[in-house]
Amino acid sequence: MKGTKRTVVYLISLLIILGFWMIPAPAGMSASGMQVLGILLGVLLLWLTESIDWPSYLCLAGLTLVPELKMGSILSSSFGNSTFAFLLFTFMCTYAVGQTSFVKRCAIGFITNRLASKGSWWFITIYCLSVLLIGMVMSPVVLFVIYMPILNSVCSELKLEKSDKLANTLILGTLFSCAISCGMTPISHTFPVMALGFYNQMSGSTISYAHYMAEAIPVGLISFVAMLAIFRFILRPDTAKLRELNAENLKADLKPMEKREKWIVGIFFAVVVAWVMPEFLKGVLPGVASFFSARGTTFPPMIGAIAMFMISIDGKPLLNFKEAMSKGVQWGGLVMAAATLAIGSAMTNADIGLTAWLSGAIEPVLTGLNPVLIVLVFAVWTYIMTNACSNMVTVTVVCAVALPICLASGGALNAASMAAMIGMGASYAFVLPPAHPNVALAIGTGWTNTSQVVKYGLPLMVIALLAAAFVGYPIGSALMLY
């Protein structure tokens, strides 16, 4: 934003934050609830128009002025929250893996196997499937950046033009698959983790990774098949040139897996196993399951990062602390996650009573509606909002409204399944440029454009939200009986 416009936005934001203190609260809402609402709306304006980093500090500063909140409790619910620590350590571990050739090795391994060589659509399917599977344990931005050289090599090998529908298919497949995979697991993915954190704050219960994935993976697979159908029957690229691709050329720059890479990948997958293991070991090794469950999801990546700091190969640690902190940690997103956790904690603070008021205000509108329709309303809200603005804002706002209503529904709505659906849905950001950095990166490559992203992303978004509401949520409700 330019100077004058930025100044106007700043003034409006501050006016909202400070002005809500002087506006009489509606019936049933406390003055402090009005303050918290003003902070949320004022900072939300800056998150949407300015950036996600420094306005998050303004959010924390504003909360210190709410009488019921003390600085210690604000810091505890933000930077001291286990979700913040989880993301910090996970960013470090993911960065270490991203510095190796492992992801590229896996990707090329997928698209040069026998199935991929059986035909053009086999190749497209395997290519996109490789993104989907690797993306289940990898940050979507990191994955997208790693895949770009591979995509460029394929397009160069086939001598594709920027306007070629085959090139459009491959870049859109990369973009959409990154987003879908981000919603399928909480592993290395910020938005599902935030939603699970909000549920924990409001209910005191914890959603296991196994239960989350049991709800999210079927939705992801349905969305993935729908994406391929859209490519096959709507985009309809000419795939004849793929017969000319010598996939073996893609292996030219790959070197054998070295000892360093093996250690890093081994530690990272040990972390992944520790995340999902407790749910499956309850009946077999209850002591082991109890050990990891008691320490939460932050423990495995913390131990993983420590191991990488301590273990050295050829005199060089697997992970350099300074480098990991400066290059591996996405501080802007992390600071915003801290702020949204703090504002979420304030909104659910019983002494402030804002969520109780929100639930009471919205409940009459939803009373009498079929629970399935209510789920659909929140699914539509989540998927539209995440594609129009920030994913983190979407998780914060929708969870703040939806979860109290679910918890107060007397069992008619499952709050745990709803939280999983919101965290998953916030990841499906691929329709508009503001939705996610990957959208802007995809358009910036020249292999696609904004109109194509919207044209093919919009129907995929609709199918995904319907799958979330009518397939994922019922599965989650049947499993998550917390």
Scan for tokens 């939806």, then name that residue.
402
Neighbours of 388 (CB within 10 A): 15
Bridge partners (DSSP) listed for residue 313: 316
- Token digits of residue 284: 């077999």
Neighbours of 341 (CB within 10 A): 24
- Token digits of residue 390: 């920030």
What is the 8-class DSSP label of residue 296?
A: T
| CA gap 183, 191 in Å, rounded | 8
In this structure, what is the dihedral angle of CA atoms 43, 49, 52, 55, given to the nearest 10 degrees? -40
Amino acid at 156: S
pLDDT at 469: 97
pLDDT in tens, 372-427: 999 999 999 999 999 987 787 789 889 988 988 898 788 889 999 999 999 999 99
pLDDT at 101: 84
Q: Are 226 and 428 in contact (CB under 8 A)?
A: no
**E-assigned strands of 224-331?**
312-313, 316-317
Closest by Cα among 210, 209, 182, 179 to 196: 209
Q: Are 332 and 46 in contact (CB under 8 A)?
A: no
| CA gap 404, 182 in Å, rounded | 25
Q: Digits of tens for pLDDT over the chain (482 positions)?
A: 567 888 999 999 999 999 988 888 888 889 998 999 899 889 888 887 888 789 999 999 999 999 999 999 999 989 998 878 888 898 898 889 888 888 778 878 887 888 877 889 999 999 999 999 999 988 888 788 778 888 888 888 788 888 899 999 999 999 999 999 999 999 888 899 999 988 998 898 989 989 999 999 999 999 999 999 999 999 999 988 887 777 667 676 677 888 999 999 999 889 888 887 776 677 677 777 788 777 877 899 999 999 999 999 999 999 999 999 998 887 887 888 788 788 878 877 888 887 778 767 776 776 677 899 999 999 999 999 999 877 877 898 899 889 888 987 888 899 999 999 999 999 999 998 768 888 878 888 889 988 999 999 999 999 999 999 999 999 999 999 86
| CA gap 180, 80 in Å, rounded | 30
Closest by Cα among 74, 102, 47, 104 to 332: 47
Bridge partners (DSSP) listed for residue 317: 312
Q: 315's torsion region: left (phi>0), alpha (psi -120 to 50) or beta?
A: left
| CA gap 452, 165 in Å, rounded | 10
Q: Residue 215 contacts by C-beta under 8 Å, 6 or more apart in sequence? A: 417, 420, 421, 424, 472, 473, 475, 476, 479, 480
| CA gap 178, 127 in Å, rounded | 12
| CA gap 141, 156 in Å, rounded | 23
| CA gap 271, 304 in Å, rounded | 6
pLDDT at 275: 81
Neighbours of 424 (CB within 10 A): 34
N residues, the chain = 482
| CA gap 431, 234 in Å, rounded | 16
Bridge partners (DSSP) listed for residue 312: 317
- Token digits of residue 316: 């060089």
What is the 8-class DSSP label of residue 244?
A: G
Q: In whole angstroms, how far apart are CA 170 and each of 121, 163, 253, 442, 481?
A: 11, 12, 21, 11, 41
Scan for tokens 């770009």, then name that residue.
148
Is-above-0.85 flag for pTM? no
The shares of helix, strand and coil residues in the chain, as percent rounded to the nearest 5, are: 75, 0, 25
| CA gap 316, 441 in Å, rounded | 33
What is the 8-class DSSP label of residue 160?
A: -
Closest by Cα among 49, 391, 385, 324 to 190: 391
